[in-house]
Amino acid sequence: MKKRIIAAVLAGMLIVSAGGCGNGTASSGNAVDNSNGMATESSADQAIASARQDENADADTKEGGVTALSLMQEVNTGDEQIIDDNYRTWYEVFVYSFFDSDGDGIGDLNGLTEKLDYINDGDPATDTDLGCNGIWLMPVMPSTTYHKYDVTDYCDIDPEYGTMDDFKNLIAVCHERGINVIIDLVMNHTSSQHEWFKTAADYLKNLPEGAEPDASECPYVDYYNFSKEMQGGYSKLDGTDWYYEAQFWSEMPDLNLGSQAVRDEFDKIVDFWLDLGVDGFRLDAAKEYYSGSVDKNVEVLSWFHSMVKEKKEDAYIVAEVWTDQNTYAKYYESGIDSCFDFSFADSTGTITSVLKNGSASSYGKALVNLQDNLSQYSDSYIDAPFYTNHDMARGAGYYSGDDSEKQTKIAQAMNLLMSGSAFLYYGEELGMKGSGKDENKRAPMYWSEDSADDGMCKGPADMDAIKMKYGALETQEKDGNSIYQFVKQTIKLRNEYPEIARGTVTFEESVSDDKVCVIKKTYSDSELLLVYNLAPESVEVDLSGVTAGEKSGSDLEVGGVLLTGTEEAVLQDGTLTMPGYSVVIVK
């Protein structure tokens, strides 16, 4: 009997826009422009959108009105098997741009709490939420900037975001739903307006000529890296002949993490947030603790890991070490749980490169190489794959042409089906766009095409008007062919199969090629196959010689499918016929 894998409709959205990152392909788009309202479409744009709409209507009629979602749901029928550990699916939230609860145009903690049903409603029986079971909060502490990476007080909430009671409520409601929360902890630097720095600066300004600073007189002079010599990454302290390290910006002076006094401060800061129920920390700019010194940075992380785990054994720690894989792999010697996996991310990473001009087999080889690389330094590492984040151009702009929506979808699957703790940046599940200046990458969550709707944020002040390529949530949640529905199904499968997040990867090279990548994931005594067709055309894959557990050939079964096209696919007698840009779980 044939085991059928239903392929999906790739519905052209009403609006298609220029691909970002220099793709230069012009087409129409909805615009998010919170200062001047929505941008209008040209007649040509409207004609293109209308033609695509008619095309999709015809396709739906031929297929009896079925959608990708309805077809995937016929196959993806298993129950969640959530394990309460640190292998999670994390949703990165920039609170400022997420949801505004009080009408001031700025996202806030109460707005996030109000929208938790979107991320995870806590009920495994429903299918209306994304299914993420972790939230990474970008900085929420008081700051002088919109991004809040310049902290003025490590033990409070920025008033733009709400109150400490709002934060406590958010944590409580998250935990009721099985969502863990980690917060951004910026240890590399403070704001120049932090009391530590202001006190040290005032002390140096009043220091008698020729006198050397004395930490017994002002302990805070040892909290930073002051020098009489100008060095790379240093700024001048106004009114003095002193300089201070500030690798990112003059208003973000670097801390001296070799100081025991500074470490004692962070010991107390960690206590403060753990006592509030935080489940761990994302460590910003860990590569710059000691710029250019891996060994010193590893030592800092080793201290931090030990200090935190003594307080909360199951706390999750993930570090940002933005460099090449061979280098960030070494940071696992510190014992921390995770480092972000930059080698697979961004417009030049493994995922995008494979989809644009690479071989599917290279994806499988890269997965095994990553595994081998990280395991050299830790036997307890948890990889932290991500596709984009708040510092990168959004993924929908990486592709252009007829297959761009399919590529945008399948790229999300390539990230979210990786082993480890996978991260999804808010709005990527909608195919939001944004490139160029940082503000553009942190645009308002695209709940609605109408920027005046309740809860819509105005976004950073210097953000450009952004033409969105795909519809807002209010459109995509009603469209069974949308990127949103595809991503939800991907997370559903990740939650259904513990092997996906926790499995050891074996690359099945003998049945992989330029179009197809077959990997096996082994977890405990269970195995499954992930078969990727990363090409636009359909393919046949001979799995008769591949085993999954004790099964092989005609005994293999389909356990899940992710679809981007209308072609039918069949698993018969060990041969799998797959539509273009699809993923099949075989068990």
Give the pLDDT confidence of 320-379 residue by residue, as tens digits. Answer: 999 999 999 999 999 999 999 999 999 999 999 999 998 999 999 999 999 999 999 999
Pairing verdict, β 569-572 and 575-578 = antiparallel
- The pLDDT value recorded for residue 257 is 98
Contact 299, 289 (CB under 8 A): no
- Label each residue of 150-168 as H, E or C: CECCCCCCCCCCCCHHHHH
> What are the tokens at 304?
């931090």
Contact 536, 578 (CB under 8 A): no
Q: Would you list the domain boundaries of the chain?
A: 12-64, 89-148+161-186+267-347+380-497, 195-245
Q: What is the average pLDDT value for the chain, to the nearest integer?
A: 90
- The pLDDT value recorded for residue 65 is 78
- The pLDDT value recorded for residue 46 is 37
- The pLDDT value recorded for residue 64 is 52
Contacts of 57 (CB under 8 A, 6+ apart): none
Active site residues: 284, 320
Please name which of 31, 32, 160, 67 lies closest in space to residue 484, comparing C-alpha atoms: 67
User: Please, what's the largest Cα pairwise distance for the chain?
Assistant: 90
> Can you list the positions of beta strands (E) in 360-421?
384-385
- The pLDDT value recorded for residue 210 is 86
SS3 state at 202:
helix
Rounded to whole angstroms, the Cα distance separating 585 from 587 reads: 7
What are phi and psi for residue 167, nearest 5 degrees? Answer: -65, -45
Residues in the chain, pLDDT under 70? 1-64
Q: CA 365, 341, 353: angle at the middle one, nearest 5?
A: 55
Give the number of other CB atoms < 10 A from CB of residue 547.
15
Architecture of domain 89-148+161-186+267-347+380-497: Alpha-Beta Barrel (3.20)
Rounded to whole angstroms, the Cα distance separating 197 from 199 reads: 5
- The pLDDT value recorded for residue 54 is 42
Contacts of 147 (CB under 8 A, 6+ apart): 96, 138, 139, 390, 438, 442, 460
Rounded to whole angstroms, the Cα distance separating 191 from 544 reads: 61
Amino acid at the residue 323: T
